[in-house]
A and B are shown apart, each in its own frame.
Chain A
Amino acid sequence: MATTDWTHQRLEQLRQTRVWRSIFRRGPARTNRTRSLAVFGNFALHTLPVKVREKSLSVRATYYLGSISFFLFVVLTITGVLLMFYYHPAVPDAYRDMKDLIYVVSNGVFLRNLHRLAAHAMVVAVFWHMFHVFYRGGYKPPHEFNWVIGVGLLMVTLFLSYTGYLLPWDQLAFWAITVGTNIISYVPVLGRPIRFLLLGGHIIGQNALLRFYVLHCVILPLAAVGLIGMHFWRIQKDGGITVRDDHE
C-alpha cells in the first residue's frame, strides 16, 4: 500500500505542474463536474455526451459494433499511413513494393496483414452494425438522419475497401477490379463514361491505379472522417443510442 500511496503522491505532483495544467486544465476527475469537464473539455472526446444511461453501456445493447467499426478505421489509418511509406502507385513498381514489404521491410508482412485483415473486418463490422441497429429499431425517429449518414458510411467503407483492393497490382487485385468495374458499364447511358472517369481510361492500367490510390488514400478517408464526425455528433444530439426495453 505504501508504494501505491507513493505513486499517487507523485501523480498528484505531476498534475500540479505548470506543463500538465497547461494541457489538462481541469483537476483530477473525482467529482462529476471535473468528469464532465474531462469529456467536453477534451477535443478528442467532446462528441461524447457527459452522461450516458447505464443500460446503454451493456455489451448486449450494442456489442460495441459502432465503436469497433471506428477503431478498425483508426487501425486502418495508422497501418495505411505506414504502408504509404513503402508504396509507389505505379506499374509494375506497386507489385515490386509488395514483394519488398514481404521480404525486406521490417514487420512489413505484419503491417500488410493487419491492414488487409482490418479492412475485411471493417466491412463485416459496418454491415453487422447496420443490421444490429436496424433490429434494435435504432433508425426510428429521431435517429432517421443518422441512419442515412450510416448508410453513407457503409458506402464509403465498401468503396474504400474496393479501391484498396487494386493497389497490390497482382492478379487477384486486377481481376477483382476488372469484374467490379465491368458491372458499372451496365448502367444505361452513363455507365461507360463513369467507368472511364473511374479508371482514367478504358482498361485498368497505370491511370486506374493512380486514381484508385488517390481515392483510397485521400478522398475517401476524408469523406469517412467527415461522415464519422457527423455520425458521432448526431448520436449525442439525438439523445443517445436507442436501447430496447427487453435489454434492460
Chain B
Amino acid sequence: MSEKNTFEVGLSSDAVKHPRRIVFITRKTSAKVKEEVGPQLMSFPHVILRETIAFQFLAIVLVVLALFWDAPLEQLANPLLTPNPAKAPWYFLGLQELLHYFPPLVAGVLLPTLVVLALVVIPYFDINIEGEPLWGHRSSRRMKIYLGVFAVLFVLLALYDAWTVLVPTVLVGVFGLVPYFLPTSESRFLKFLGSQPLPWWVMTWFIAVALTLTAVGTFFRGPGWSWVWPWS
C-alpha cells in the first residue's frame, strides 16, 4: 500500500473527435468488487463450535467475577440528599467531564450529537477507500491544514482550561507529526504510524480523548468535581 497511486486521466474538449468520457483507472478496486479467494470452512461445525467455546469462556469469566464482585447498592434514593459529587453511569462520565469545561449546550448536546452523526456518516464520507497514508504525498498543504486545525484546537481547549481534553489531543497530534518528519525511519512502530490514513488518526484521537475523559471522570473526580487521587 505504500506505493504511489498512479492515475491516468484523459480529458478532451473536442466532443466529435473524442466522445466525452472520463477514464478512471486505479490499480486496486474497492472491496465491493474484490473477488474473495482463500480456503473456506463449513459453518457447521466450525463456526458453531468456536462460538460455543467463546460463549463458555465468556460465561466462565462472568460467573467467576460475579461470585467475587458485588453489584453496588447504596441507600434508598433520597431526593433531599445530594451526594457530592453526583456521578452519571461511567460511560457518560466523559460527557460529564466535558460539561465541567464547556457550556452545557456545547458539551451536553452539540458534541454528543456530532459524535453520533460522525459515526453514522463515516462509511459514506471515507472516500479514501484505499487507505492512503496521511502523509502519503508529504504535501505541505496538508501539513498547513493539519497544523491549523491543531492550533485552533489547542487554543480553544486551553482557553476553556480543558486540560483533560488537551493532553490526549496534544499527544495524538504530536504522534501524527512524527512520521512526516521521519519518513524513512526503520522503526516498526513509526512505519506503522506512517502507514495510517487520516480517518485512523481522527478515530484514534477520538478514542484517546474519550478514554481519558471517562477515566478521569470515573477515578479522579471528587467533591465539587475537584481533582482527587483515587488512592488517597
A interface with B by C-beta (< 8 Å): 29, 32, 35-36, 38-39, 45, 48-55, 57, 64, 67-68, 71-72, 75, 91-92, 95, 98, 102, 109-110, 112-118, 120-121, 123, 127, 130-131, 134-135, 137, 139-145, 147-148, 151, 154-155, 158, 161-162, 165, 168-176, 178-180, 183, 186-188, 191, 203-204, 239-240, 242, 248
Contacts and interface: CB of A to CB of B under 8 A. Distances in A.
Given A148-B123, A183-B104, A187-B109, A109 B76 contact: no
B79 A204 contact: yes
Select the residue from A92, A127, A144, A172 with max chain B CB neighbours within 10 A. Answer: A172
Interface string B58-101: 11001101110111111111110111001111111001100100
Contact of B42 (A35, A92, A95, A102): A35
A3 to B, nearest CB: 22
A171 B89 contact: no
Given A50-B42, A67-B51, A151-B119, 9 more contacts: A32-B42, A48-B47, A67-B54, A113-B65, A120-B90, A171-B77, A183-B92, A187-B109, A242-B31
B76 A117 contact: no
Interface stretch (B12-20, B32-40, B136-144, B163-171): B32-40
20 contacts: A29-B44, A35-B43, A45-B44, A52-B41, A53-B36, A54-B38, A54-B40, A57-B47, A71-B55, A72-B58, A110-B66, A117-B65, A131-B207, A139-B122, A142-B31, A147-B123, A162-B92, A176-B86, A183-B95, A239-B36
A112 B89 contact: no
A168 B63 contact: no
A239 B199 CA distance: 24
A38 B46 CA distance: 12
A140 B48 contact: no
Nearest to B54: A64
Contacts of A142: 31-32
Contacts of A120: 90
B43 A144 contact: no
Interface of B: 30-32, 36, 38-48, 50-51, 54-55, 58-59, 62-63, 65-67, 69-79, 81-83, 86-92, 95-96, 99, 104-105, 108-109, 116, 119-120, 122-124, 126, 129, 131, 199-200, 203, 207
A110 B71 CA distance: 9
Contacts of B86: 175-176, 178-179
A117 B62 contact: yes
Contacts of A191: 109
Contacts of A172: 72-74
A51 B41 contact: yes
Given A142-B32, A161-B91, A186-B108, A169 B77 contact: yes
